[in-house]
Structure 1
Amino acid sequence: MTQGTQRARAARFAESARATRGLVTGTAAFDTWLADCRARLTTTVELRPLEALRDWSVDPRTGNVQHASGRFFSVHGLDVRVPGAPVDHWQQPIIAQPEAGILGILVKEFDGVPHCLMQAKAEPGNVNGVQLSPTVQATRSNYSGVHRGRPVPYLEHFRDTAPHRVIADVLQSEQGAWFHRKRNRNLIVETTGPVELLDGFCWLTLGQLHELLRQDDLVNMDTRTVLSCFPAEPDARETAPEGAESGDSYRDLLRWITEERTRRERHVREIPLNSVAGWRLSEGRVTHEDGLFFDVVGASVEAVGREVARWDQPLLAPHGTGLVALLVREIDGVPHALLHARVEAGHLDVLELAPTVQYTPRSYAHLPPGARPRFLDTVLTAPPQNVLFSAVHSEEGGRFLHARNRYLIVEADPGLDVEDCPDYRWTALPDMAALLRHSHYLNIQARSILACPHGLAGRETRKKP
């Protein structure tokens, strides 16, 4: 793609980002539509013992929790060693879902402005039932019919992209602490043909979605990761001539990531769930002996408006609301973010780049003070005028029960010292955007926070209504 084409494409999406009122679905119409969807598309969740779930079983030999079809996902144990880390050895349950699903947003132009086709989707783990989902949010087991439900709407646009313009197509990871090697195909596809508007879907501009990201528990995790893949501006990071500043900064960033992946060690081994030290299956759920981290629980679900009306499944239920925070500042007039090269158990390639702070207080309660995340106090004590963005967002409601994080973007003091922190790096936002064209560089928390451009754009954007 030429730089001229990149500029033209970026300009079109910038126009969509400026259109905060929408040309197809106005603010009042959206509020009415969402209220109607929440009234009709209901989900009822009843917790039940893992051993009693329909179509699921606890293996008597290993204790692993698995589906009768051998598809969807399973829960097994993991033995993890990270030499030099504050905790260098642990064991834990983890969700194994080796198949790659599709997270796709369909784009169509109305009156010259690109709009995104969004879905009101109720997930069993959502705190409030319906949230805004991508056009398609489906595992391979779902879209291949293993669930024996209705076909996934609009799937054809993402299975056969030849008739359309592909804006983004990249495999990305999900929570490395809770998923073992989980990936989804993040797709943005633009069509010029007619699109029938089905019940439970609406057209929104990027500007409207950015505004809705200010609201708690509304824009779901799968939407946020796909939104982060939209082209924000012309990007010459990989094509800049030798010696050009942007090309050099991007190459330096790639070199640093490679060095960190080489320098750090992580040894992961699958083990039976019933042999995980410190965890036990008790009273129908898998729990830690000290009540820490999370539980694995069983759920019986009845849903209106889904491809399947009734099913059972395990859910991972974390303890407490987490904190995801990004420190930002301008360097030579360019916005930068402080990223952390973070090792997690379930990632494919040792580490991915995370926000400055990624932290769940209850998971650190038993650890010495030295294990607290770097820059946590910087974030927690930031004056209100330095908090550029704050909202509580839900994580994957299809696998996690009431998993929530407060997302913060905080303007850093120019004198913040990071010299003795080799696993942290100030990274230009355009370079981060370039990384998003490739797999397994930015973790799901970083992608989620990049979908919140009001804070990343700086103080002036934050002040606008």
Structure 2
Amino acid sequence: MRTGTAVADPIASLDERLGRSLAAGFRGPEQRADFHRWFTACAELSDTEVEPTPLDELAGWRIEPDTGNLVHASGRFFSVEGIEVDWPGAAVPRWGQPIINQPETGILGLLVSDIGGVPHFLMQAKMEPGNIGGIQLSPTVQATRSNYTGAHQGRPVPYVEYFRDTSRHTVLADVRHSEQGAWFHRKRNRNMIVEVREPVEARDGYRWLTLGQIHELLALPDMVNMDSRAVLSCLPLTDPGPGLGRTPETGTFEAALLGSCTTEADARTPTAAVLSWITEARSTTDLRTRRVPLRELADWRMKDGRISHESGQFFDVMGVRVRARGREVDQWAQPLIAASHVGLVAFLARRIDGVLHVLVRAKAEPGHVDTIELAPTVQCAPPNYDALPSRARPPFLDHVLGAARRNVRFDTVLSEEGGRFYHTRNRYMVIETDESDGPLEHPGFRWMTMRQLTRLLRHSYYLNVEARTLVTCMRSLLTTAPKGTS
């Protein structure tokens, strides 16, 4: 297996080296085919069986008689509980729902090493029980604290030592971020990118890939998993132009996007004003949540071994039995959340004074630590609004649904994290607009550059996980968008 040489260019800046990695895609059809042969072989070796199972028959789990909560017999890992939400003045001012309570902080970690003068990232072909297709391209380490401290009494997590002791290496990113605020109660993961200073062998099921190669794979449905997308967004990529080896033609989408990555001074809204706007939204949004017993939730019922909303919308809580070769443990059972519909997650983008901006929303979600995080322009499952008041329909949803094909810059259906969600997917889109679409102004939204979002990603709890995925998708367009796109 190829080994990271850990000989970084002593002169080039990190941005320039990352630019080289961006520019280094698959060299022709044969190299691309070689990757897919490796990935297919990993899938065949994973030898996985996932069997849907009634919640009351999950080995190692119990339904607490007094609360109805789903808890693991060890008291570790996670539980499924209820919350009640009060939001006076909102389109839906009060509701209850199941939610995953996982108070521990996991590690999502990527190893980086120079190979032939180009940074490569150590990716894993990892099976998760909720994945479509069994395996997806995951970070080097994707582990809960219970996993990497051995609570499962299974095999050690490979490579985790590089993230638990970084003293001999270079930390490129290390920040705690939230996960889905609609389905997790204050869930956090430590997102880390560590550049190694020593050779590292790629074990079976792992492969060194350039940033450009990962970006090419991002265009494939259900290939690059949620955790990889989230961690990659944390790369401090602020001026990759010198490493790309070319200057985009003035007036093109590529030039506007590159300018967005490098520009903060020309942003429509100064960063200080953005921070004040977020703080104001957090201070004035009167959304309150409280944990309640699962059995006390109105409108949710246990039926056929699942917990479902009586409308049939939103999501189910289901159970699975898993047998998987190559994981830390070979078999287990667990609950999963299964969304009722494929969601829609989109950035509307616009060139403002020649610099591409994206329209972000200050979005409140009940599971977030600080209530408000920046979200994509649109983040929803449109069919769910059949069960909600008409004024709950998200702003700009019709702009996304009615976008002309020629204006769509990115469009791929991607899976959410298969360790907690069963076949749950979102259609991720980047749609360019212009003045003919109107001003697209709204009090809960702001136009921001990629450079501004990159700066905020150095800090916890500013961008939600869906927005972080779209940051990675946007960066992929630096090298995968058709050249010369006007």
TM-superposed deviation, 1:263: 2.3
TM-superposed deviation, 1:246: 6.4
For 2:377 and 2:174, locate their aligned partners in 1 and report how far apart those are by CA, in whole Å: 26
Q: What does the per-residue CA deviation read over 1:80-120, in whole Å, with 9 as the maximum and x for residues that have no partner?
A: 01222211110000000010100000000011100000000
Residue aligned with 1:94, SS: strand
For 1:247 and 1:438, locate their aligned partners in 2 and report how far apart those are by CA, in whole Å: 22
Q: 1:371 to 1:196 in 2, by over 3 A?
A: same
TM-superposed deviation, 1:459: 9.7
Note the residue ranges of structure 1 that are not aligned, 5 or more in a row: 236-242
1:313 corresponds to which residue? Answer: 334
- Across the aligned residues of Structure 1 and Structure 2, the Cα RMSD in angstroms comes to 2.3
1:15 corresponds to which residue? Answer: 20
Matches within 5 A, 1:231-310: 231-234=236-239, 249-310=270-331
Residue identity in the other structure for 1:271:
V
Residue aligned with 1:26, SS: helix
Q: Is the 8 A contact 1:250 1:431 kept in 2?
A: yes
For 2:395 and 2:265, locate their aligned partners in 1 and report how far apart those are by CA, in whole Å: 33
2:45 corresponds, among 40, 45, 52, to: 40
For 2:232 and 2:475, locate their aligned partners in 1 and report how far apart those are by CA, in whole Å: 13
For 1:427 and 1:458, locate their aligned partners in 2 and report how far apart those are by CA, in whole Å: 21
TM-superposed deviation, 1:283: 2.5
Q: Is the 8 A contact 2:25 2:211 kept in 1?
A: yes
Q: What does the per-residue CA deviation read over 1:345-390, in whole Å, with 9 as the maximum and x for residues that have no partner?
A: 1000011010000111232111233221111111111111100000
TM-superposed deviation, 1:417: 4.2
1:215 corresponds to which residue? Answer: 220
Residues 1:344 and 2:365 are matched in the alignment: yes
Structure 1 window deviating more from structure 2 (158-167 vs 44-53): it is 44-53
Residue identity in the other structure for 1:190:
E
TM-superposed deviation, 1:192: 2.0
Q: What does the per-residue CA deviation read over 1:211-254, in whole Å, with 9 as the maximum and x for residues that have no partner?
A: 0000000000000001111122249xxxxxxx965698111111
Residue aligned with 1:281, SS: strand
TM-superposed deviation, 1:456: 5.4
1:373 corresponds to which residue? Answer: 394
For 2:12 and 2:278, locate their aligned partners in 1 and report how far apart those are by CA, in whole Å: 28
For 1:33 and 1:427, locate their aligned partners in 2 and report how far apart those are by CA, in whole Å: 39
Q: What does the per-residue CA deviation read over 1:2-59, in whole Å, with 9 as the maximum and x for residues that have no partner?
A: xxx9981111101100000269x93232111001011111321111111111110000
Note the residue ranges of structure 2 that are not aligned, 5 or more in a row: 1-9, 241-263
For 2:441 and 2:410, locate their aligned partners in 1 and report how far apart those are by CA, in whole Å: 27
Residue identity in the other structure for 1:222:
D
Identity fraction in percent: 53
For 1:328 and 1:246, locate their aligned partners in 2 and report how far apart those are by CA, in whole Å: 13
1:401 corresponds to which residue? Answer: 422
For 2:125 and 2:481, locate their aligned partners in 1 and report how far apart those are by CA, in whole Å: 31
Residue identity in the other structure for 1:53:
L
Residue aligned with 1:27, SS: helix
Structure 1 window deviating more from structure 2 (32-41 vs 410-419): it is 410-419
Q: 1:36 to 1:419 in 2, by over 3 A?
A: closer
2:90 corresponds to which residue? Answer: 85
For 1:130 and 1:458, locate their aligned partners in 2 and report how far apart those are by CA, in whole Å: 26
Q: 1:359 to 1:462 in 2, by over 3 A?
A: farther
Q: 1:222 to 1:460 in 2, by over 3 A?
A: closer
For 2:458 and 2:195, locate their aligned partners in 1 and report how far apart those are by CA, in whole Å: 17
1:238 corresponds to which residue? Answer: none
Q: Is the 8 A contact 2:268 2:448 kept in 1?
A: no
Structure 1 window deviating more from structure 2 (79-88 vs 397-406): it is 79-88
Q: Is the 8 A contact 2:216 2:480 kept in 1?
A: no
Residue identity in the other structure for 2:444:
D
For 1:6 and 1:218, locate their aligned partners in 2 and report how far apart those are by CA, in whole Å: 35
TM-score (norm 1): 0.93
1:428 corresponds to which residue? Answer: 449
